[in-house]
Amino acid sequence: MPADADRDAAAVRAAELRARILAADHAYYVLDRPVLADVEYDRLVRELAEIEAAHPELATSDSPTQRVSGAPSERFERVVHREPMLSLGNIQTDEELDEFDARVRRLLGLGEEVRVGYVAEPKLDGLAVELVYERGRFVQGSTRGDGVNGEDVTANLRTVGRTGANRGVPERLLGEVPPRVEVRGEVLLFKEHFEAMNRQILRAGGEPFANPRNAAAGSLRQLDWRVTSRRPLSFIAYEALVPGAEPGGARAAPGAWRTHTEKIEALGRFGFETNPANARCAGIAEVKAYRDRMAQGRFALPYDTDGVVVKVDDLDWRRRLGAASKFPRWAVAFKYPPQEEATRIRRIWASVGRTGILTPVVDFEPVRLSGAMVSRATLHNEDEMRRKDVLEGDWVLVRRAGEVIPEVVMPLKERRTGEERPFEFPAVCPVCGAKVVREEGEKVYRCTGAACPAQLVGRLTHFSQRRAMDVEGLGDKLAAGLVERGLVRDFADLYAVPFRAFQELFSRPRKEERDAKAELPEKSAQNMLDALERSKDTTLRRLLFALGIPQVGEATAATLARHFGDLARFMDATEDELLAVRDVGPETAREIRAWTAEPQNRRVVERLLAAGVRPAPEAIEARGPFAGKTVVLTGGLAAMSRDDAKAEVERRGGKVSGSVSRKTDLVVAGEDAGSKLEKAQSLGVKVVGEEEFLRMLEE
């Protein structure tokens, strides 16, 4: 090929690559919805870098190879970082690690015999942020954005670590601190918090997040800080800068920090959570050994990680090494290569989950991934399926996310024959035949049938939980047994299960005794019948919550119970009448009305009443110390749960708020009360302990 033609082809390909990379950056950093697998994104960036190296005249200042990925959203105020928040170059081989080490020693003029001290850290998979502290107080927080300009998410960052995730953003630093310090780190969701949050979302009838990184980024970049405050986010610090120090941040005061290790230790003294898995390595050989240990045990870590970050420890050397336009020369990220395989989709079908959500499931030709044969993956929802453009009959790239959960990465469009076809969601539930709906603004299709067998086990355990009908002893295993034996098809059937059936379900004879006559447990069976009988005397608030109506959590159930007073009025309420209820918006009103209008659901309610369930009206005593007051609960109470305390306050005419302001009338401070107590004291809001709170409840 002539030189001019070769250059023209390279220019066209470079333009194509830049467009795809920029679109992927926008989807990942701004929309929090990745459109490319990491391995595919890295391949495109490497190809572009190779073209620009071969044809320097094609390199542009705005190329993705020359700047930090991402851009700040226009929804937030813009923050200019005092020092750019650079990204890290990615490597994947031992040879590239050796090249990094050789380049460091060459630029520093060190001999072959010198072993550079490095700090190796797990590469956290979350959202990079910067926190600014002045005279020890937190004054501003921002996302990385494009590295120069970030998004002001100060209000949201103040809530990080306030929901049980004890790795938060300190409001005030501890000990002796510099007049101004800029702390950088990662906002992330630990695995246990991510799983608990998704379980809560599922119980409320919502759509779970696909992975912790997207959940963390989406949670932090909310316009309403109250949404963020309900998400169990954590913060881990890994860098600190001080005005007057050169890029790379060497000290809090002259001569204070000589190494990155000392800096991390100082961050711990200031009150930040740092990563205990960090390690100092003497030379690149120790870095490789650390990488191998982390690769082997990374799935046992409490957070997701996709690699290891390697940093020069000596801060003076860092300043001498400096940075290129996009990456610091003193750090690099070693990324674990994900295992991906190509296979062909056999079919796509709709699976009905416990909350009634229909999830598209992909069955494909079995492939071996991470030592296991895999033949199925979910696509989460219709939007995800359409975004990935996955069709029945497609060849696709699949992998196991975190080496555990199978996922479809992308379709291989170049292998399409024209016979592929899009999947369409059914109009009726494939399990029970009830109507399937996707309300405006929702991402998921949902079965509207309350007695749908696919949902029934999850619905029964929700119905029986303490804060609902309070049927003690009815958990997942017992509920599954009732459904498997055909004893329960809806909530009302629980009250007709015979004594003998409960005996058999509670009986667990050993294998060799199954054919012999075994004494069936009478006490457990009788306890269950007694618990069911006690549950019949309940309140309207508890019953409405127990029914699992979409959008109706405990707070909304209490509001509806107080507004309508009895079950019949609620069941017959029109959408306009529901909209008249405090805190019930158009979407919630539509969801509730769709549920109450479904004949299957109305029959279940009628059968519950016929079985003897007696929902008493919500009694409100609008007198006493809580009447008309706004109350905030903080810390743990020994005598009752937070939910019970909230219900007791509301039953006495009070309103429970999640945050302290000048409009707060009372703060109840239990054990380990945190920032809410401090704010109440600073605002002069009345504070009482648990003993005083219990006394007030008795008034």
DSSP state of 51: H
CATH code, domain carrying 24: 1.10.287.610
- Of 376, 392, 415, the residue that ends a domain is 415
Residue 35, in any domain of the structure: yes
Domain match, 316 and 377 both: no
CB 184 within 8 A of CB 257: no
Phi, psi of 321 (to 5 degrees): -75, -40
pLDDT at 605: 95
Q: Which amino acid is at 112?
A: E
Please provide the DSSP assignment of 602-652 as one string: HHHHHHHHHTT-EEE-------STTTT-EEEEESB-SSS-HHHHHHHHHHT
pLDDT at 55: 76
Domain match, 602 and 673 both: no
Domain match, 545 and 399 both: no
Domain match, 99 and 57 both: no
d(Cα 11, Cα 4) in Å, to the nearest integer? 10
Closest CA to 491 of 603, 588, 656: 603
- The number of folded domains in the chain is 5
pLDDT at 165: 47
CATH code, domain carrying 590: 1.10.150.20
Domain match, 90 and 38 both: no
CB 248 within 8 A of CB 328: yes
d(Cα 237, Cα 181) in Å, to the nearest integer? 13
Q: Which two tokens stand for residue 42?
A: 């890295």
Confidence of residue 637 (pLDDT cuts 50, 70, 90): confident
pLDDT at 676: 82
Distances (CA, A) of 533 to 33, 465, 470: 49, 15, 11
d(Cα 134, Cα 278) in Å, to the nearest integer? 27
- Of 616, 646, 678, the residue that ends a domain is 616
Strands in 137-143's sheet, in edge-to-edge order, are 137-143, 127-134, 180-188, 234-241
Residue 202, in any domain of the structure: yes
Q: Is the pLDDT of residue 193 over 60?
A: yes
pLDDT at 371: 55
Domain that holds residue 377: 340-415
CB 338 within 8 A of CB 324: no
CATH code, domain carrying 157: 3.30.470.30
Give the residue numbers marked as catalytic.
123
Residue 463, in any domain of the structure: no
pLDDT-above-70 percentage for the chain: 85
Exposed e or buried b per residue across 520-535, where buried means at least 16 C-beta atoms within 10 angstroms of its C-beta: bbeeebeebeebbeeb
Cα 64 to chain centroid distance, Å, stands at 28
Q: Which of 168-182, 210-224, 412-426, 634-648 has the lowest mean pLDDT?
A: 634-648
Please provide the DSSP assignment of 103-126 as one string: HHHHHHT--TT---EEEEEEEE-S
Is the model more confident about 452 or about 303?
303
CATH code, domain carrying 643: 3.40.50.10190
Report angle CA 521, 524, 526 to the nearest 5 degrees.
100
Domain match, 50 and 84 both: no
pLDDT at 10: 79
Domain match, 241 and 107 both: yes
Closest CA to 238 of 288, 277, 191, 199: 277
Handedness of CA 358, 364, 367, 373 (dihedral sign): positive
Q: Which two tokens stand for residue 115?
A: 């072993």
Stated as kind and residue range, the H or E segment containing 588 is helix 586-597
pLDDT-above-90 percentage for the chain: 35
Exposed e or buried b per residue across 63-93, where buried means at least 16 C-beta atoms within 10 angstroms of its C-beta: bbbebbbbbbbeebeebebebbbbbbbbbbe
CB 410 within 8 A of CB 332: no
CATH code, domain carrying 357: 2.40.50.140
Residue 479, in any domain of the structure: no
Domain match, 548 and 638 both: no
Distances (CA, A) of 576 to 77, 313, 581: 38, 65, 9
Average pLDDT value over all residues in the chain:
83
Q: What is the pLDDT of residues 233-258, one digit of tens each?
A: 999 999 999 886 544 444 444 347 89
- Of 310, 335, 360, the residue that ends a domain is 335
Domain match, 219 and 347 both: no
Q: What is the pLDDT of residues 495-554, one digit of tens each?
A: 999 999 998 888 754 443 444 444 567 888 899 999 999 999 999 989 999 998 988 887
Q: Are strands 357-369 and 331-335 parallel, antiparallel or unpaired?
A: unpaired
pLDDT at 309: 96
Give the three-class secondary structure for 572: coil
d(Cα 280, Cα 408) in Å, to the nearest integer? 37
Mean pLDDT of 671-680: 78
Q: Which two tokens stand for residue 595?
A: 């549920």
pLDDT at 691: 82
Residue 459, in any domain of the structure: no
Q: Is the pLDDT of residue 453 over 70?
A: yes
Size of the chain in residues: 699
Is the model more confident about 184 or about 442?
184
Q: Which of 255-259, 286-290, 374-378, 490-494 has the lowest mean pLDDT?
A: 255-259
Residue 430, in any domain of the structure: no
Q: Which of 176-180, 471-475, 619-623, 628-632 has the lowest mean pLDDT?
A: 619-623
Domain match, 527 and 497 both: yes
Is the model more confident about 426 or about 24?
426
pLDDT at 265: 93
Domain match, 376 and 354 both: yes
Residue 40, in any domain of the structure: yes
Q: Which of 132-136, 472-476, 551-555 has the lowest mean pLDDT?
A: 551-555
Q: Is the pLDDT of residue 30 over 60?
A: no
Handedness of CA 397, 398, 399, 405 (dihedral sign): positive
Q: Are strands 127-134 and 137-143 parallel, antiparallel or unpaired?
A: antiparallel
Give the three-class secondary structure for 259: strand
User: For the chain, what is the radius of gyration of the CA atoms?
Assistant: 29
Residue carrying structure tokens 């399937």: 436
Confidence of residue 613 (pLDDT cuts 50, 70, 90): very high
Mean pLDDT of 204-224: 76
Q: Which residues pair with 437 in a beta bridge?
A: 446
Closest CA to 445 of 389, 528, 385, 393: 385
Neighbours of 198 (CB within 10 A): 18
Q: Is the pLDDT of residue 433 over 50?
A: yes
Residue 667, in any domain of the structure: yes
Domain match, 21 and 89 both: no
pTM as predicted: 0.48
